[in-house]
Amino acid sequence: MTSRQYSIVSREAFEIYAVNQGINPAAYILELNSHSYYMMNILDYLVGNTDRHWGNWGFLVDNETNQPVSLHPLMDFNQAFQCYDQTDGANCLSVLPKHLTQREAAIQAVSKIRLNQIRKIDPFWFRGRETDYQMLTRRLEILREIEKYQIHYKMTAGRYDIPSKRDGWSTGTDELRAIRP
């Protein structure tokens, strides 16, 4: 990822720089590359990655201008499928100082950029890890329902008429209420 043209600066190091420069780090990240930030939270929730501390993500910086150009590509998934015994996931470390579960951060992300799934999950990839596959598909279904609800919300001219399971929605109203403004 690093080269003569680009370097990596961790989120942790950027926090120190931002505070000293009077920059709001969260606002800066969203302005620079909100799509990648939200996709990181969706992906970490889906795979149960518990190791997205501030040293494991950050910025790609142009060495000539010393300016961030984007968030750097995601890395370090050696702790994926670790907090995989329930649908909430672990505490989401990328949203600090807020306190959200990975599910809450992913729901927030889906409400901002949608799910963006480009390929179907192949169960073959999980051969011998069927429990992980089941949790991944359950988490993905929660996010699909949130996305479907967001579309429903827009189609009802902004009225929040919370659908129920009896209306054909598989996600409970607690998940849906979590995205209300």
pLDDT in tens, 12-54: 999 999 999 999 999 999 999 999 999 999 999 999 999 999 9
Residue 170 lies in a domain: yes
Residue 50 lies in a domain: yes
Residue 75 lies in domain: 6-177
Residue 46 lies in a domain: yes
Residue 20 lies in a domain: yes
Q: Residue 180: pLDDT above 80?
A: no
pLDDT band at 147 (very low <50, low <70, confident <90, very high): confident
Domain count, the chain: 1
Residue 12 lies in a domain: yes
Residue 149 lies in a domain: yes
| Rounded Cα gap, residues 53 and 56, in angstroms | 6
Residue 1 lies in a domain: no
CATH assignment of the domain containing 82: 1.10.1070
pLDDT per position as a tens digit, 107-134 = 999 989 999 888 899 999 999 999 999 9
Find out whether 152 and 122 touch, Cβ atoms under 8 Å. no
The reply to whether the predicted model has a pTM over 0.75 is yes
Residue 41 lies in a domain: yes
- 62 has which bridge partners? 6, 67
